[in-house]
Chain A
Amino acid sequence: MKAAVIVFPGSNCDRDLKVALTQSMGKQPAMVWHRDTTLPEVDLIAVPGGFSYGDYLRSGAMAAHSPIMKEVVRFAQRGVAILGICNGFQVLTEAGLLPGVLMRNHNLKFVCKDVFLRVDQNDTVFSSGYTAEQIIRIPVAHHDGNYFIDADGHAQLEDERRIAFRYCDETGSISDTANPNGSLSNIAGVLDPSRRILGMMPHPERLSDPMLGGNDGRAMFDSLISSIS
C-alpha cells in the first residue's frame, strides 16, 4: 500500500500520522504540501489533525480551498481511500466529501482525554480489524467536535449504515455522559456513500503504541493495509 499525508499550514498531527502509518505499512507515507497540485499514485490519502490556517475562519474552511484539495477530490472520485482525523474530518466536511458540520463543543471548551468508541461499522477498509460493536479507547483533542446534521441527513446516515463510530462508556452504553462534545447521536465518525472516505474526531494515531498507554488505534492502520494492499 502507498499512502500520502496532506500537510497544511497549521497541521500538527502530520508527523504522528506518519509514524502510525509507517509502523503498520513498513514504509513511510509521502508528505504532500498543501500548495502542490498533484498527488503521487497512492491507495490512501490521510488528512491530519491540527489547526489548518489557525482555524481562524471556521475549522477546516480555508484548507478545503487549498490547491491540493482539487486533487484529493479527483482521487476520491476514483475510489482512493481517504481518512480525515480531527481537523482532517473538518476539512473533508468543508470540502463536501462528507456530510454534516463540526460545531464548537457544547461546553465551549477544548477537550483532550481518552474516550470510548463503539465500532458501529466494521465492514469498511478502515475498520475491518475491529469486531462488530467492539469497544475501543482512543483520545479526542478538539474544540470543534460537536457533529451536527439535519434530520433527513441523519436518517440517511443511519439507513445507509454510515455512522462508523459513536462515543460510548466503558461498557458500550451510548449516553450523554459519554459524549465529550455534544455531537448528535454521539457520532464520532462518519463514512461517505462509497464507504471509502472516513472522517472521525478521535485520534487513532495517538494510541497505536502500548508505550503511550494503549494500542486500540493500531487496528485501524492495520485494517487499511490488509484491505487495500
Chain B
Amino acid sequence: MNVQSNVTPELAAEHGLTPDEFARAVEILGRTPNMTELGIFSVMWSEHCSYKSSKKWLRTLPTEAPWVICGPGENAGVIDIGHGLAAIFKMESHNHPSYIEPYQGAATGVGGILRDVFTMGARPIANLNALRFGSPDHPKTRHLVSGVVAGIGGYGNCIGVPTVGGECTFHSSYDGNILVNAMTVGIAATDRIFYAEAAGVGNPVIYVGSKTGRDGIHGATMASTEFDDQSDKKRPTVQVGDPFTEKLLLEACLELMATDTIVAIQDMGAAGLTSSSFEMASRGGMGIDLDLDEVPMRETGMSAYDLMLSESQERMLIVLKAGREDDARAIFEKWELDFAVIGRLTESGRMVLKMGGEVVANLPVAPLAEAAPEYDRPHRQTPARPEMLASDIVPKMSIKDALLTLIAAPDLCSKRWIWEQYDHMVMADTVARPGGDAAVIRIYDSNRALAITTDCTPRYVAADPVEGGKQAVAECWRNLTATGARPLAITDCLNFGSPEREDVMGQFVGAISGIGEAARSLDFPIVSGNVSFYNETNGKAVQPTPAIGGVGLIDNLDHTAHIGLDKPNLAVIAVGATTGHLGASIYLREIGGSENGAPPRVDLAAERRNGEFVQTKISSGTVSICHDVSDGGIAVALAEMVMAGGNGVTLSVSDTADHGWWFGEDQGRYILAVDQSAGQKLISDAQEANVPARQIGVSGGEVLELGREGAISITSLREAAERWLATYMDA
C-alpha cells in the first residue's frame, strides 16, 4: 500500500484523538496512519466504543451468578430462565442523536438495541424506554417529547415488538441533553445462542441487510463529546431508521440461525463496519481481509473512509462456515435483503482493507480493539448533604392538596399519552400493561412470564451518588418483586456529564460503587450495559442518571400481583419501616420548592428481607395485590392503587402522622391488600420474618379517605393524574 500520509496532528485532533493517543497510533503502526486508518482509530478509541474512562470502574461490578450464561462484553447479556430457555437483554443510550433529531435519533436507538438482542439468537419480546427530558417550560421540551415518542413508536410498532414500559421524567438539567435509553429483552433457546467471536481461517465474512450510505459518519465520535451552541449542525451525523427492513432482517437472521451455518454474528451499530469487524476479529484472535468494493452501497463515489465509518442502520456482519454461502444467500434473497461476501478470515491478526485493487488500510487488530487507551481520571467525591427531618420542613399545603398536586406533577402523572402511542400488545403475550410496577410478559406458549422494569431516581444520585446508585438497583429489584417475580439480573445504562471533570467523574465512581454494593447484596448481577458520558452542554451536566433495567422470572402466572385495588373489604397493609424521610424527595421538590437534603438510605439487608417476604407471599398465592412505595411515598402509592383498581380506601392513620409519614420516601416498602380474614395472619407471618408490617386501612367505596386529612374521590384523583401530560402535549 501507499504509505504516504497527509494526516497531521491537527487532523487527528479534529477526529477527537488527543496528542498522546495520536502518538500511540503512530507507534502501533510504525508510521503515520492514512485518512481511513485515522478514521478507524478515532471511532475505535472514542469514549463511546472504547469505554476508556469507565473500564477501570466497570470491572468492579458483580457480573456472575449461577444463572448467568453470558455477562458483559458480548452484544447483550444472557441469563438462564429454565425449561431450556434464556433471556437476552440490554439497555443502551441514544442521547446525543435524539436531541439533535428526536424522531430518527430515538427510532434508531430502538433499532440498535433490538439488533444487539436478536444478533445473539433471541426473538425480541419487549421494548422499554427510560426517557429524561428538560423542564416542561423549556422551549424545546415539547418538540423533543413529541419526536422521541413518535420515533420510538414508529420503530417498535412497525417491527412488531411490544413497547411495554419505562420511565419519563423532567428536570431542567436535561434542557440541553435529553436522555433516551432503550432496552430490549428477547428469548432464545439456551443451546442456540450466537456469539461474536470469529473463528476458522478462510471462513467467509458476510454483509447482510441494508445498503451502506453516508449517514451517521462519526456518530460514535459525536456521542463522545459535549454539546455547545453549534450542536444542531451535527444533524447529518444522525442515522435514519427503516424498521421494515429491520423486521425482514430479524426474520431472516432467525431463519438463518435455525440452520448450522453461522460461526459468529454481530450487528453493525456504533462505528458500523469498523467496530463490528474489529470486535469479531479481536474476540477470536483472527485477522480479516475485507474487499470494500463488495460492500453493498447506496450511492456512488463512497470512499473507504465513508464505508468504514458509516452508521447506516439495519446491517449485520456474519462469519459463515466456508461452503455454506449459498444456503445463507437463499434465505436473505427470500427476504429481499442484500447479501454479500466481503472478506475472509485470516490468521494474520491484521485488518487488511482493499478497494479498487489496492490496500487502503492495514491495521493490527488487537492493539486497536483491546489495547485501547484506558484512563484513571481524577475524581472528586460529591460532598455529603445534611440529613433533613420532616419536622424541619414547613408544610405549604394540606396533605390532600399536596397529594393532588403530586399526582398531577410531570414526574408522577399518568404517562398514558405516551404509551397509547406504543403498540404494547402485539405478540399477544402482554399480561401486565404499562402503568404498573413492572411489565409482565408471558413466555410464549407457557404459563411463565418475565417481569421487566427500568428505574433510576436521578435526584438521589445527584444528592449522594453511592446511595443513589444503591437505590436505583434496589427500586428495580423491588418493582420486579412487587409483581411476584424473582429478580434475576440487570443491565445498566450509565448517563453522566463529561468524565474530564472531577466532580462528574466523582459521581460516576460513587454511583458504580453503590450499584455494585446493591447488586451483590441482592444477588442481582449486571450482565450488560452501556456508558454515556458527555451529556452536557456549555459546561452544564445532566443529573447523574444510572438507569437500571431489570428482568425477573414468574414461574406460575396464576400467582402474580398487580397494583389495582379491584375489590372492596380488603385489608390494606404497609410492609417495611416508615420513618418519614423527606430529604431529596419529590414532595420536597414539588411542594417545598427545594432539592436539598440527603436521600433516603437503602438498608440492603432489610430490602432483601422485606422483598423476599413479599415475593413468597405472592408466589404462594396469598397476595395478588401489591405495589412498591417509591416517589411520593405511601400517599402516592395508595392513590395509584385506588386509581388502577377503582376501589377507594379508608385509612386508619395516627393523628400524629405528618407529611413525612404520607410522602416520605423510606426504602424497602410495599403496600399489599388481602382479604380481611387473611390480614392478621399475614402480619404475624411478617413479624416472624422480622419484617415490619401493619394494617393501615380497608379498601372499598368511591373515595381515598385520608383519615382526618379529608377525602378525595377516585374521579378527582384520575382527573388530576390524567390531566397534565395530555394538556401539555396538545397545547
Query: Which residues of chain A have a CB within 8 Å of any CB of chain B?
Result: 9-10, 12-13, 15-16, 19-20, 49-51, 53-56, 109-113, 139, 141, 143, 203, 205-206, 209, 211-213
Contacts and interface: CB of A to CB of B under 8 A. Distances in A.
B420 A113 contact: yes
A124 to B, nearest CB: 24
Nearest to B445: A19
Interface string B234-257: 000000001111011000000000
Given A9-B336, A141-B425, 4 more contacts: A12-B426, A13-B160, A110-B150, A112-B157
Interface residues of B, number: 31
B153 A50 contact: no
Contacts of B429: 212
Contacts of B157: 51, 110, 112, 141, 143
10 shortest interchain CB distances as A-B pairs = A12-B160, A54-B244, A16-B428, A51-B158, A141-B423, A112-B423, A110-B421, A206-B425, A113-B420, A110-B153
B430 interface: yes
A49 B423 CA distance: 12
Contact of B421 (A56, A111, A205): A111
A13 B428 CA distance: 9
A54 B158 contact: yes
B159 interface: yes
Contacts of B428: 15-16, 19-20, 205-206, 209, 212
A202 to B, nearest CB: 11
A206 B427 CA distance: 8
A15 B429 CA distance: 11
B422 interface: yes
A111 B420 contact: yes
Contacts of B160: 12-13, 50-51
A16 B431 contact: no
B52 interface: no
B248 A9 contact: yes
B434 to A, nearest CB: 10
Contacts of A54: 158, 242-245
Nearest to A18: B428
B431 A211 contact: yes
Contacts of A213: 431, 433
Contacts of A110: 150, 153-154, 157, 421-423
B415 interface: no
Interface secondary structure of A, over-half rule: mixed
B320 interface: no
A51 B247 CA distance: 10
Contacts of A203: 425
Contacts of A51: 157-158, 160, 243-244, 247
A53 B244 contact: yes
Given A50-B160, A211-B431, A12 B247 contact: yes
Q: Which of B242, B244, B245, B421 has the most CB of A within 10 A?
A: B244
12 contacts: A9-B335, A12-B159, A12-B247, A13-B160, A20-B428, A109-B150, A110-B153, A111-B421, A112-B425, A205-B428, A206-B428, A212-B425
Contacts of A49: 426
B649 interface: no
Contact of B244 (A10, A16, A20, A143): A10
Nearest to B440: A211
Q: Which of B335, B422, B426 has the most CB of A within 10 A?
A: B426
B244 A109 contact: no
Contact of B158 (A55, A113, A211): A55
Contacts of A141: 157, 423, 425-426
B244 A112 contact: no
B247 A112 contact: no
Nearest to B420: A113
Contact of B424 (A12, A112, A205): A112
Contacts of B247: 9-10, 12, 51
Given A9-B336, A13-B160, A211 B426 contact: no
B427 A15 contact: yes
B417 to A, nearest CB: 9
A29 to B, nearest CB: 15
Contacts of A50: 160
A9 B244 contact: yes
Contacts of A143: 157
A20 B428 CA distance: 9
A111 B422 CA distance: 7
B420 A112 contact: yes
Contact of A212 (B248, B423, B431): B431
B442 interface: yes
Contacts of A212: 425, 428-431
B673 interface: no
Q: Which of B154, B424, B425 has the most CB of A within 10 A?
A: B425
Q: Which of B157, B160, B247, B428 has the most CB of A within 10 A?
A: B428
Interface in B62-77: none
Q: Which of A16, A203, A211 has the most CB of B within 10 A?
A: A211
Interface string B143-185: 0000000100110011110000000000000000000000000
A19 B428 CA distance: 9
A19 B445 CA distance: 9
A211 B557 contact: yes
A191 B313 CA distance: 41
A54 to B, nearest CB: 3
Contacts of B154: 110
Nearest to A14: B160
Contacts of A12: 158-160, 247, 426
Contacts of B153: 110
A75 B243 CA distance: 32
A120 B238 CA distance: 49
B420 to A, nearest CB: 5
Contacts of A55: 158, 244
A120 to B, nearest CB: 24
Given A9-B336, A54-B244, A211-B431, A112 B557 contact: no
Contact of A16 (B150, B242, B420, B426): B426
A78 to B, nearest CB: 29
Q: Which of A15, A20, A49, A209 has the most CB of B within 10 A?
A: A15
Contacts of B248: 9-10
A15 B159 CA distance: 13
B421 to A, nearest CB: 5
